[in-house]
Amino acid sequence: MTTMAHEGQTLAPTTHEELESILASAHTAARSFGELLPSARASILDAIADALEADAAELVAAAEVETNLGSARLAGEIKRTAFQLRLFGNVLRDGDFLDVRIDHEDPDWPSGAARPDTRRTKIPVGPVLVFAASNFPFAFSVAGGDTASALAAGNPVVVKAHPGHPRLSERTAQLVISACRSAGAPEGVFALIHGTEAGSEALKDHRIKAAGFTGSIPGGRALMDIAMSRPEPIPFYGELGSNNPVFVTPAAAEARGDAIAKGYIASFTVGAGQFCVKPGMLFVPAGTGMLEKLRASSLPDGNKMLNERIRKGYVESLQKLSSLPNVEVLVQGHSPLSTTPSPTLLITRAKHVLAAPRELESECFGPTSVVVEYDDISELVPLAETFEGQLTATIQGEDDCPVQDLVRVLSEKAGRVLWNQWPIGVAVTYAQHHGGPYPASTAAATTSVGTAAIDRFLRPVAFQGFPQHLLPPELKEDNPLRVPQMLNGRR
């Protein structure tokens, strides 16, 4: 395709003057946008979802040019992105997200002092800066999860475009801005910027009150350090790296070895392995035939990666992993380092992981995974203990496996623990948690996927002794918005 010539070309970076104007507009928009009733913000989210779906064909075509992802996957991602916006709309209409708490005055409160009338709600934090990801050009980019949750919370959003898909980002931003405008949002509630410098300058600006990020550990840590060293530090919600180990118990290997091998191979190769929850390690028991099954598997053909920069990074990671002592190739296609890299399965043994876990367990973004052979199920807990914070950890087990200790250790290590499923495909739901201890996330108490993500961009405020007419509507005694209220400690 001639249009492929666009790949890797970035747009002109946002200038200092342009950024100043964008930040001033976001600052101005914050108050009027934050004061919209939740239901009005829901309508704006719906309008953005409608706009994405209305132009889905054009967006898919634009994304294909810049990302090498297939049209089916891209169309599905638009559906997910639109769904996510509408789900936050439902969250807004429901009102549970405000966690409203009302304490009536109580002169006999047993703390030793009278309890004043106190009413707590949550308010938007102010303009949010979102660093878009490369690997989900819709769901974690311009109109993706962080944008949806920050807008839902009532904050203007400035997105720093990912350089991997600048034109798609521009096109998406135009749709978002136009949808916001036609749905009655104030001007300046959304803007797109380009360039590392502009992103860093925006992150340092006092008008930005929180930031969201999805990307690598070094990149995320550098930005987090900027956010934390500001005169006024701000929350930095970074989703960084994860190995996403999978632990196969002996009983599961015996019972379902073929299915596990098949599921694993599909899981680490789909989308050229470019998922933050791609399984990076599979622990398999010796003597159960698992290793032989994997060795005998034919891996799928390679696919183009998102862009050349990412492919180069992948090749470096693969070469580094392969060259570690005690690591060998288990299965590999004929062109592992080509522009369409054949998937690679590496192999090592449990004792080597126990001896030097950090490099073996580092994330390799692309179609490579490491198989680790262990001898006894008692090794799984110590192996699990070697991991840093993870987005996910998975057990392939059978119901009678003695895995309670393993479940416990993995829940201490990961934000999401799976049983007999595969981590790819982070469902957008109420109970989802996409985070985990550092370095999986810079803010383990929060999630970047699911309805609870709205919490990131809200801040509680308590009103004490206020007359009804001066209270926000959700705190009024007659509850005109019909939101859930905790009343004197009871919901």
Judged by CB under 8 A, the chain residues 123 through 152 that form the site for a copy of itself are 123, 125-126
CB atoms within 10 A of CB 136: 26
181: contact with a copy of itself by CB under 8 A: no
31: contact with a copy of itself by CB under 8 A: yes
* Burial category of 437 from C-beta neighbours within 10 Å (exposed 0-12, middle 13-18, buried 19 and up): middle
Please identify, among the stretches 273-281, 317-325, 375-383, 444-452, the one whose residues bind a copy of itself according to the rule CB under 8 A: 444-452
Please identify, among the stretches 171-179, 181-189, 220-228, 275-283, the one whose residues bind a copy of itself according to the rule CB under 8 A: 220-228
Residue 131's closest CA among 49, 66, 226?
226
Please identify, among the stretches 115-123, 167-175, 246-254, 299-307, the one whose residues bind a copy of itself according to the rule CB under 8 A: 115-123
Of these, 56, 61, 324, 444, which contacts a copy of itself (CB under 8 A)? 444
Query: Minimum CB separation from a copy of itself for residue 473, in Å?
Result: 13
Q: With contact defined as beta carbons under 8 Å apart, do 348 and 322 qualify?
A: no
Q: With contact defined as beta carbons under 8 Å apart, do 80 and 317 qualify?
A: no
Our CB check for a copy of itself shows the closer of 61 and 444 to be 444
Of these, 64, 103, 205, 363, which contacts a copy of itself (CB under 8 A)? 103
Q: With contact defined as beta carbons under 8 Å apart, do 283 and 321 qualify?
A: no
Q: How far apart are CA 114 and CA 91, in angstroms?
A: 35
Our CB check for a copy of itself shows the closer of 161 and 428 to be 428
Q: With contact defined as beta carbons under 8 Å apart, do 342 and 336 qualify?
A: yes
Q: With contact defined as beta carbons under 8 Å apart, do 204 and 227 qualify?
A: no
Q: How far apart are CA 376 and CA 283, in angstroms?
A: 11
Task: Assess whether 401 carries a catalytic annotation.
Answer: no
Beta strands in 270-338 (DSSP E): 281-285, 328-332
Judged by CB under 8 A, the chain residues 35 through 64 that form the site for a copy of itself are 35
What is the helix (H) or strand (E) element at residue 347, kind and residue range? strand 344-349
Q: How far apart are CA 318 and CA 305, in angstroms?
A: 14
Query: Minimum CB separation from a copy of itself for residue 215, in Å?
Result: 17
Task: Assess whether 20 carries a catalytic annotation.
Answer: no
Our CB check for a copy of itself shows the closer of 11 and 255 to be 255
Q: With contact defined as beta carbons under 8 Å apart, do 308 and 7 qualify?
A: yes
**What is the 8-class DSSP label of residue 352?**
H
Token output for 248: 């196969």
Which of the following is catalytic: 64, 66, 201, 276? 276
CB atoms within 10 A of CB 32: 14
32: contact with a copy of itself by CB under 8 A: no
340: contact with a copy of itself by CB under 8 A: no
72: contact with a copy of itself by CB under 8 A: no
Please identify, among the stretches 17-25, 39-47, 249-257, 406-414, the one whose residues bind a copy of itself according to the rule CB under 8 A: 406-414
113: contact with a copy of itself by CB under 8 A: yes
Query: Minimum CB separation from a copy of itself for residue 254, in Å?
Result: 18
Residue 300's closest CA among 264, 326, 253, 327?
264
* Strands 100-103 vs 210-214: parallel, antiparallel or unpaired: unpaired
Of these, 17, 328, 445, 478, which contacts a copy of itself (CB under 8 A)? 445
Cis peptide before 250 (omega within 30 of 0): no
Judged by CB under 8 A, the chain residues 359 through 388 that form the site for a copy of itself are 388
Q: Which amino acid is at 26?
A: A
Q: How far apart are CA 396 and CA 250, in angstroms?
A: 9
Q: With contact defined as beta carbons under 8 Å apart, do 377 and 351 qualify?
A: no
Of these, 2, 229, 298, 323, which contacts a copy of itself (CB under 8 A)? 229
Query: Minimum CB separation from a copy of itself for residue 73, in Å?
Result: 11
Q: With contact defined as beta carbons under 8 Å apart, do 167 and 66 qualify?
A: yes
Say which residues have a Cβ less than 8 Å from residue 359's Cβ, sequence separation at least 6: 320, 321, 324
Place of tokens 């957008």: 428
Residue 290's closest CA among 385, 182, 374, 394?
374
Please identify, among the stretches 184-192, 272-280, 338-346, 453-461, the one whose residues bind a copy of itself according to the rule CB under 8 A: 453-461
Please identify, among the stretches 19-27, 122-130, 174-182, 313-321, the one whose residues bind a copy of itself according to the rule CB under 8 A: 122-130
Judged by CB under 8 A, the chain residues 472 through 491 that form the site for a copy of itself are 484, 486, 488-489, 491
Query: Minimum CB separation from a copy of itself for residue 453, in Å?
Result: 11
Of these, 8, 218, 233, 287, which contacts a copy of itself (CB under 8 A)? 233
334: contact with a copy of itself by CB under 8 A: no
Which of the following is catalytic: 77, 201, 239, 373? 239
Our CB check for a copy of itself shows the closer of 154 and 273 to be 154
301: contact with a copy of itself by CB under 8 A: no
Of these, 415, 448, 474, 483, which contacts a copy of itself (CB under 8 A)? 415
Please identify, among the stretches 43-51, 58-66, 103-111, 318-326, the one whose residues bind a copy of itself according to the rule CB under 8 A: 103-111
Query: Minimum CB separation from a copy of itself for residue 340, in Å?
Result: 26
358: contact with a copy of itself by CB under 8 A: no
Q: With contact defined as beta carbons under 8 Å apart, do 361 and 344 qualify?
A: no
Which residues are marked as active site? 239, 276
